[in-house]
Chain A
Amino acid sequence: MSDAAVHDDHHDHKPTGIGRWLFSTNHKDIGTMYLIFALTMFFVGGAMAMVIRAELFQPGLQFVNPQFFNSMTTVHALVMIFGALMPAGVGLANWMIPLMIGAPDMAMPRMNNMSFWLLPFSFTLLLSTFFMEGGAPAGGWTMYPPLVFQLGDGFPFLIFAVHLLGISSIMGAINIIATVFNMRAPGMTFMRLPLFVWTWIITAFLLIAAMPVLAGGVTMLLTDKFFGTAFFDAAGGGDPLLFQHVFWFFGHPEVYILVLPSFGIISQIIPTFARKPLFGYSSMVYATASIAFLSFFVWAHHMFAVGMPLAGELFFMYATMMIAVPTGVKIFNWTATMWKGSMTFETPMLFAIGVLFMFSIGGFSGVMMGITPVDFQYHDTYFIVAHFHYVIVPGIIFGIIGGIYYWLPKWTGHMYDETLGKWHFWLSTISVNVLFFPMHFIGLAGMPRRIPDYSTQFADWNAIISIGGIVFGLSQLIMVWVVIKCIRGGEKATDEVWEGAHGLEFTLPSPPPFHSFTTPPEVTEASAHS
Chain B
Amino acid sequence: MAQQGVIKTAKKLGLFAVAMFGFGFAMVPIYSVLCEVTGIGGKTGVISQSEASADEVDADRLVTVEFDSNVHPDLPWKFKALKYKMSVHPGEMSEAIFIVENKSDKAVVGKAVPSVAPEKASVYFNKTECFCFTKQLLEPGERKEMIVRFIVGSELPEDILIMTLSYTFFLVTDNADVAASDTKAVKTIS
Contacts and interface: CB of A to CB of B under 8 A. Distances in A.
Contacts of A236: 111, 170
B10 A178 contact: yes
A234 B40 contact: no
Contacts of B157: none
A215 B21 contact: yes
A162 to B, nearest CB: 12
A225 B179 contact: yes
Interface stretch (B11-19, B77-85, B88-96, B100-108): B11-19
Contacts of B23: 212-213, 216
Interface stretch (B27-35, B49-57, B142-150): B27-35
Interface stretch (A239-247, A462-470, A475-483, A497-505): A239-247
B70 to A, nearest CB: 11
A179 B9 CA distance: 9
Nearest to B75: A235
Given A149-B186, A235-B111, A239-B41, A217 B24 contact: yes
A339 to B, nearest CB: 39
Interface in A202-223: 208-217, 219-220
B40 A235 contact: no
B156 interface: no
B6 A213 contact: no
B113 A108 contact: no
Contact of B14 (A174, A215, A216, A235): A174
Contacts of B16: 208-209
A364 interface: no
A183 interface: yes
B interface bracket (residues with beta carbon within 8 Å of A): 35 or more
A309 interface: yes
Contacts of A217: 24
Most buried by A among B31, B72, B171, B175: B31
A131 interface: no
**A: contact size bracket:** 35 or more
A177 B189 contact: no
A182 interface: yes
A257 interface: no
Contacts of B172: 235
B35 A150 contact: no
Interface string A293-333: 00000000000000011001000000000000000000000
A34 interface: no
Interface string A164-184: 000000100111011101110
Interface string B166-190: 0010111001001100100010011
Nearest to A207: B17
Nearest to B168: A234
Interface string A131-151: 000000000000000000110
A234 B113 contact: yes
Contacts of A235: 72, 111, 113, 170-172
Interface in A257-290: none
Interface of B: 2, 5-6, 9-10, 13-14, 16-25, 27-28, 31-32, 35, 38-41, 72, 111, 113, 119, 168, 170-172, 175, 178-179, 182, 186, 189-190
Given A179-B6, A309-B119, 13 more contacts: A150-B186, A174-B17, A208-B13, A209-B16, A210-B20, A212-B17, A216-B22, A217-B24, A225-B179, A234-B113, A237-B113, A249-B24, A309-B40
Interface of A: 107-108, 149-150, 152, 170, 173-175, 177-179, 181-183, 208-217, 219-220, 225-228, 231, 234-237, 239, 241-242, 245-246, 249, 308-309, 312
The 4 A-B residue pairs whose C-beta atoms are closest, nearest first, are A216-B24, A235-B170, A228-B175, A212-B21
